[in-house]
Amino acid sequence: MSLIPYGLTRPFLFGLDAETAHELTLGALAQTQNTPLACLYSTTRVADPVTLAGLTFPNRVGLAAGLDKNARCIDAFSAMGFGFVEVGTVTPKGQPGNPRPRIFRIPERNALINRLGFNNDGLDAFIANVQRARFRRRAGAGAGQQPMLLGLNIGKNLGTPIERAIDDYLIGLEGVYAHADYVVINISSPNTANLRTLQTDRALDDLLAAIARRREELAAQAGKRVPLFVKIAPDLDEAGVQVIGAALQRHGMDGVIATNTTLAREAVAGLPHANEAGGLSGAPVLAASNRVISHLRAALGSGFPIIGVGGILSGDDARAKLAAGADVVQIYTGFIYRGPDLVGEIARALASGNPRG
């Protein structure tokens, strides 16, 4: 447990504009990681190793992409006990994203709406930050310590026409390949125009075929084969999930992340900010995400890795993700509402007896 309970800092942060609070928090973590002040949020990582896609995850709880888009705070999140951390989404060129305000809290439902739009500093700055991270060196210094895994999440620039999206993904893949434990192809954000059209059958086939070819070239050059995951949306019916599942297997993808944010608003209807444009995350996404995970597991069979994300605010929520068919889980909005102690709560809940063994 961290030295300063999150319950003491949350009222201050929630008194600020959501994006201001986000930036203030990341700035503080970036300044204090790898210093004595990191003891304020550091904890012992729960050991619950699981092997997926040829990787050993130290435990089953990860940080979802989107919270640390520029990979500034990898060591801070490692200190909080995550088994794996995913940073990005990064695009080839830096871009400001959509106009502010663009993050909205709905505390009545433990939810957020965001329309950030892949705001990030670009691939070069992102890779420089990844290279500065020390978490692997620290783990290597301790006998028997399993290093946290790092996922790097890539997307397309807003200004790149959708028919040229493959070019951006190939640039991103080539840039991050040497630095990632796994790479995520994000085709499911609702905040980049037409991005979700890449989930349709022909567009998905073309994209994954190009990525698979480039991965083979990079693997030969680097002497290592980095697993590839694809992140999908919760707003898919069973037929759509089956199309995606077949494409993932056809093109040799190593896993899937389910799910991103939703466009649905039924669960927050009538509440302040409910009609803001963007993707809804948090507790209202739990059921939709679990439904997609169940469809994926049915389509993909028992051995295909699924990372479950969406609506996890407790250990019980994480257990429900595994019961639906996920192997490991990620948190984002739950982390904002519950703080770092949620990491250990989930890791202990899943280590104490998860439905998928």
Q: What residues are labeled active site? A: 189
Of all helices (H) and strands (E), which one includes residue 186? strand 182-186
Q: Hey, what amino acid is at 129? A: N
d(CA 253, CA 240) in angstroms, rounded, equals 17
**Structure token digits, residue 264:** 């649905």
Number of other CB atoms surrounding residue 95 within 10 Å: 17
Rounded distance between C-alpha atoms, residue 251 and residue 205, angstroms: 8
What is d(CA 11, CA 171) in angstroms, rounded to the nearest whole number? 41
Residue 136 half-sphere exposure toward CB, CA atoms < 13 A: 10
148: its two tokens: 């946290």
Q: At what angle do helices 201-222 and 165-176 cross, to 10 degrees?
A: 30
Convert 193-216 to b/e letters by CB count within 10 Å (16 or more is b): eebbebbeeebbeebbebbeebbe
Question: What CA–CA distance (Å, rounded) separates 354 from 327?
Answer: 9
CB 89 within 8 A of CB 153: yes
Name the β-bridge partners of 154.
Answer: 90, 185
CA–CA dist 10, 338 (Å, integer):
9
